[in-house]
Amino acid sequence: MIHVEGYEKAYRNTLAVQGLSFEIAPGSVLGLVGPNGAGKTTTMRAIAGIISPTEGRLLVAGHDVVQDPIAAKSQLAFIPDEPQLFEVLTVWEHLEFTASVYRMPDFASEAERLLEQFELTEKRDTIAQELSRGMRQKVAICCAYLHNPRAILFDEPLTGLDPRGIRTLKISIRERAAVGAAIMVSSHLLDLIEDLCSHLLILNRGRSLFQGTIAEAKSKLEGAGSEASLEELFFQFTEPATVAEPESTSP
């Protein structure tokens, strides 16, 4: 559903992402992790068609993001870490606008269902500038889900959400994956990645350090069993091994 082949992105003399290739199959949830500056958001923004790749191909549902952007974006949703809403539009007007962009004449019943799922029904006539950070995030998620995308990208999705909102989002991600959506979740919250994701992609300095299932990643962790945490995996892959100091001997 999402296919990235030989993706590179350069900014002047800086190569932010280099030689990146991976796929996300329908029904899979891929966790994208790495230190700050690893190239995570750059990769997601390229898949979403917001920035152009310097090299490589990016496909969404078989459509080239560069060559056929409208077809690719019609199958895609991207929820950034800072949702950009229209400050003077109400919650419902955001859904109306989204439906018009995706040419959905009969959107009302699905929009109502999403508002109920994310506990926004009472806020449907509230303008965006009066919403809390968590509610703005929920509006962005509802708008993203409205056209039933086959590929969904989340960049730090839990920002601002309360515990109930976090649970609702997790349930919704599992539900979308269960009906065949391909989902990518980028987060520094490794517990979230371990809880939600079937697959893992670790980036550092624009390069892929690991791709595969979380079980496969754990099998590579030196000196640890199946109970190894994702935090241990993260540091082993992203930080160089520490060379032990030689033991001192008495004269």
List of the chain residues with pLDDT < 70: 221-228, 240-251
> In the block, which residue shows the tokens 């039933």?
148
Give the DSSP letter string of 52-75.
--SEEEEEETTEETTTSHHHHHHT
pLDDT at 218: 79
Q: Rounded to an integer, what is the distance from CA 117 to the centroid of its chain?
A: 20
pLDDT at 240: 59
pLDDT at 233: 81
Angle at alpha carbon of residue 44, lines to 16 and 201, rounded to 5°: 80
Q: Which CATH architecture has domain 2-75+149-236?
A: 3-Layer(aba) Sandwich (3.40)
Give CATH 3.40.50.300 domain extents, the chain. Answer: 2-75+149-236
**Are the C-beta atoms of residues 12 and 201 closer than 8 Å to each other?**
no
Alpha helix positions (H), 16-64: 40-47
- How far apart, in whole angstroms, are the C-alpha atoms of residue 146 and residue 111? 7
For the chain, state the CA radius of gyration: 20
pLDDT digits over 197-243, tens only? Answer: 999 999 999 999 999 998 888 787 655 555 667 888 888 888 755 43
Phi, psi of 107 (to 5 degrees): -105, -15
User: What count of other Cβ atoms lies within 10 Å of the Cβ of residue 129?
Assistant: 11
H or E element that contains 17: strand 14-24
Calculate the alpha carbon distances from 145 to 37, 75, 76, 142, 210 in Å. 28, 11, 9, 5, 29
> In the block, which residue shows the tokens 């799922």?
117
pLDDT at 226: 54
